[in-house]
Amino acid sequence: MKNTGLDKILGRIEDLDSVNLGILVQRLAKERNLQETVFNTIKDGILVIDSDGVVQYANEAALNLIGLKENDIGVTRLWKMVPDLARSIDRDAISGKRTKSPLLSREVELSYPEHRVVRLYMVPIDAQIGHHDSGGYVIVLTDITEERLSMEERIESERTGSIVRLAAGVAHELGNPLNSLTIHLQLIERKLKKLEDQGEAGKLSESLQVCQGEVQRLDSIITHFLEAVRPQKPELNELDLLELVEEVLKVQEAELSDRRLDIKVEVSDEIPSILGDRGQVKQVFFNLIKNAMEAMQTGGSLRILARKDDEHVFLQFVDTGSGISEEDLSKVFQAYYTTKKEGHGLGMMIVQRIMREHGGHINIESRKDIGTAITLQFPQQHRRTRMLE
C-alpha cells in the first residue's frame, strides 16, 4: 500500500526525536492493521514465504485452505505442511535459484485439511523490480473446487445423457416386439385350450406360462428403465414430508407387520414444508422403505429421523439390515446394480435422480451385517425459491 507521506518520514528517520519516533510507530501500527483488514477480507489465500519455504505471512483464507495455525507463522515450512504443493512447484524456484521464468501458475490438489483443488500463482517478491533471484515469494491460492466439480458434473451429465438417449431408443424399440409376442402367446394359449390331447396340451401350457412370465419380466424392466431415463419434470407444490412418510408407511403396513419390523418416526424439530412433486417424493420414500424392509430379518427396526437447519430439511432412514460392503457402496446408484433376486437395480438410480431434480442430495453410510443409514437433504422453501429464480 503506497503512502508517500510515510515514505518521506522513513527517508529521514535518523533525524527524528523520541516523540516523532513514537508517532511514527503508531502510524506504522495503523498501516499494518489496515493492511491486515484488507488482506483478510480477500477470499483468495495469500502467503509470503522466504527462500527456505518458511511461512512469513498468511491471511485468514490461506490459513483455512492449507490448515495453518497462527503459531505456525515464522516457524513452519510450507513444504512440510503441504507436500502436494511442494511437489507441484519447480524446485529451482523453491531454492531461490535463477529460473527462466520467475512466475508460476498451475492447479494443485490439496488433501489437508480437506480435499481441495486450488489455482496457485507464485511470484518472487523482487520480480517487479527486475530481479530473478529472490529472498522470498508471494503465493496466491484460489479455491476452484466447486468450479472443477461443476465442470466434471457437466462432462459426466453430457456423457450420461448421450448413453441414456441411445438406451431409451433401444428400450422403446424392444417394446414393440414384446407387445407382438404377448399377443401371439395369448393366441397360442387359446388354441391349446381347444386341443383334444390334454396331456400334451398341459406340457405346452407350462412352457407357455414360462414364456409369458419372461415377457412380463422384460416388460417390467423396460418400464422401470424408461421411468429412470425419461423422468417427468417435478410439479412443485407445498409438501409436508412427515405426512408423506406416514402415507407410504400406511401402504406398506401389512408387509411391515408380516415381517414383524419395528418402525419409529422421530422428529427433533418443527419440520417446515418444502416445495416438491408429491408423487415423486412418495416414490423416493417407498423405494427407501422397501429396500430397508427387504434388507432386514424378522424383528429388525427402521428409524426415520427428521430434523432441519436454517437452509435444509433432513430425513434419515436408519435400518438394522444386512448392510452394504465398502466395495459395493459406490455402485448403489448404478443402473441394474442390485443384491436382490427379484430386483431390477433401478430403484436407487431413480431416487438419486428425483433428489437432484428437487435440488436435494442423498448420502449413504453402511456397514456390512450392521445396517444402513440413508440421509435425504431437501432445500427449504425460501432456498428452493432462490434456486428457481
Give the separation between CA 236 and CA 381, rounded to whole angstroms. Answer: 11
pLDDT in tens for each of the 389 residues of the chain?
A: 455 555 555 556 666 677 777 777 787 778 777 777 778 788 889 999 888 889 999 998 888 888 888 888 988 888 777 765 666 555 444 444 444 445 677 777 776 677 778 888 888 876 444 444 456 888 999 888 877 766 666 666 666 566 566 666 666 667 767 777 778 788 887 777 776 666 666 667 777 777 777 777 777 767 766 665 565 778 889 999 999 999 989 888 888 888 889 899 999 878 899 999 988 899 899 889 988 998 898 889 999 999 998 889 999 999 999 888 877 877 787 766 566 555 555 678 888 888 888 888 899 998 888 899 999 999 988 765 544 54
Q: Where are the alpha helices (DSSP H) in the chain?
A: 4-11, 18-41, 60-66, 78-81, 83-88, 91-95, 145-193, 198-229, 241-251, 253-258, 278-295, 326-329, 347-357, 381-388
Domain 42-143 matches domain 237-388 at the CATH topology level: no
Taking the domains of the chain in order of start, what are their residue ranges?
Answer: 42-143, 149-229, 237-388
Grid cell in block for residue 38: 484488507
Grid cell in block for residue 251: 401402504
User: What is the architecture of the domain spanning 237-388?
Assistant: 2-Layer Sandwich (3.30)
Q: What predicted TM-score, i.e. pTM, was given to this entire model?
A: 0.47
Q: For residue 245, what pLDDT is reported?
A: 93
Q: What is the DSSP code (8-state) at residue 233?
A: P
Give the separation between CA 315 and CA 54, rounded to whole angstroms. Answer: 47
Assigned CATH class of 42-143: alpha beta
Long-range contacts formed by 363-367: CB under 8 A, 24+ apart = 364/324, 364/329, 364/332, 366/323, 366/324, 366/329, 367/323
Q: For residue 310, what pLDDT is reported?
A: 84
Q: For residue 240, what pLDDT is reported?
A: 93
Q: What is the DSSP code (8-state) at residue 341?
A: S
Q: For residue 301, what pLDDT is reported?
A: 92
